[in-house]
Amino acid sequence: MSEPILEIEGLDVAFGRGHARTIALSGAALRLFPGEAVGVIGESGAGKSTLARAVLGLAPVTAGSVRVVGRDVARLSRRGRREFGRSGVAQYVFQDPLRSLDPDQTVQAAVAEPLQIRGELSRGEIAAAVRAQFAAVELDESLLDRFPAQLSGGQRQRVAVARALVTGPRLLLLDEPVSALDSANRVRILQLLERLRATTDITLLFISHDLGSIAGVTDRTIVLNRGRIVEDGPTAQVITAPRHPYTRLLVGSAPTLTSGAADRARRARLRAELAAAS
């Protein structure tokens, strides 16, 4: 078996000290292998964002390790973090591209920047790479000189994806990437990720509060509840045969086109089961 792209072992993350100390993640362990698309689901406060921050090397890790392509990012020196960032091995897409993209930078410059920082390509090569990436995310070249505020939300998110992909990362971390988008753009981003998976061996870590989106792109799902991983299995199995009481309630709560009045009684039972288990 190949080396894991992401390997988290015994990860504890805590914020604050003394009485204000909050355990955000406790004993988290997971491995992602090349080409896998893994979803992370949980309520707000369950530890999703903390997990994302840990993969970025930005969480106050109190125990355990976070290895991204073999390198422990949990305790990087300032220099180590800079080098890690510059390598472009792991890239990120967040919920709100209006906040993650520089408003004073054309989208062309935004997509070129990671390549310029890496400093391996000539100006012409970078321009060509940017155009190729624009085509890959189905953005028209006429948009190259626009600023983020001049694009629609869906176009902006595709710029963010293009910027993330331009360095050819091994790991792409997506934190609520479609939560702020309307239906058409949501489908478009999910299709794009699907295509990306079909054509590369990129590894995806897809964090969302919405089980529907996770079902759309992942083949494995991790369920976080109160800072702990309570379930980790094939997405189909997590949805059709959830084991943990929280997962059962989560699946029962997700709005689907097939849900109806009968589900109300079931949910009432599942809530009681979860309350009894915790």
Partner 1 sequence: MSQAPAVESGPAPAPATDAHPDDVLVLDGVRIHDDLSDTELVHGVSLRLRRGGVVGIVGESGSGKSLTCRAVLGILPDLIEVSGGSITLLGRDTATLTRRDWTALRGASIGAVFQDPASYLNPSITVGRQLQEVLRVRGGLSREDAHRRAVELFDAVHLREPEQVYRQYVHELSGGMLQRVLIAIAISLDPEILIADEATTALDATVQAEILDLLAELTERLGLALVLVSHDLAVVAQLCDEVLVLRDGHVVEQGPTGRILHDPQEEYTRLLVAEHEQYGLERYLTPEPSHV
Helices and strands, number each (H, E), in the chain: 11, 10
Q: At 237, which helix (H) or strand (E)? A: helix 235-240
Which CB, 25 or 249, lies closer to partner 1?
249
Residue tagged 């799902």 (tokens): 221
Which of 2, 44, 77, 142 forms a contact with partner 1 (CB under 8 A)?
A: 44
State yes or no: residue 230 binds partner 1 (CB under 8 A): no
Query: Near partner 1 by CB under 8 A, which window of 9-17, 100-108, 167-175, 257-265?
Result: 257-265
Q: How far is the CB of 153 from partner 1 (least distance, A)?
A: 10
Which CB, 150 or 253, lies closer to partner 1?
253
Tokens, residue 19: 């009485």
Cα maximum dimension of the chain: 63
Q: How far is the CB of 217 from partner 1 (least distance, A)?
A: 7
Which CB, 184 or 198, lies closer to partner 1?
184
Measured CA to CA, the distance from residue 177 to residue 192 in angstroms comes to: 12
Binding residues among 48-77 for partner 1 as defined by CB under 8 A: none
CA-to-CA dists, residue 154 to 39, 144, 162, 163, angstroms = 21, 15, 12, 14
| Beta-carbon count within 10 A of 138 CB | 13
State yes or no: residue 219 binds partner 1 (CB under 8 A): no
Residues binding partner 1: what is the number (CB under 8 A)?
A: 38
Which of 187, 200, 226, 233 forms a contact with partner 1 (CB under 8 A)?
A: 187
State yes or no: residue 18 binds partner 1 (CB under 8 A): no
Query: Near partner 1 by CB under 8 A, which window of 69-77, 91-99, 167-175, 243-251?
Result: 243-251
Query: Which residues pair with residue 7 across a beta bridge?
Result: 31, 67
What amino acid occupies position 163? R
Which CB, 1 or 184, lies closer to partner 1?
184
Dump strand ranges (E) for the chain. Answer: 6-15, 22-32, 37-41, 61-68, 71-72, 90-93, 171-175, 203-208, 220-225, 228-234
State yes or no: residue 247 binds partner 1 (CB under 8 A): no
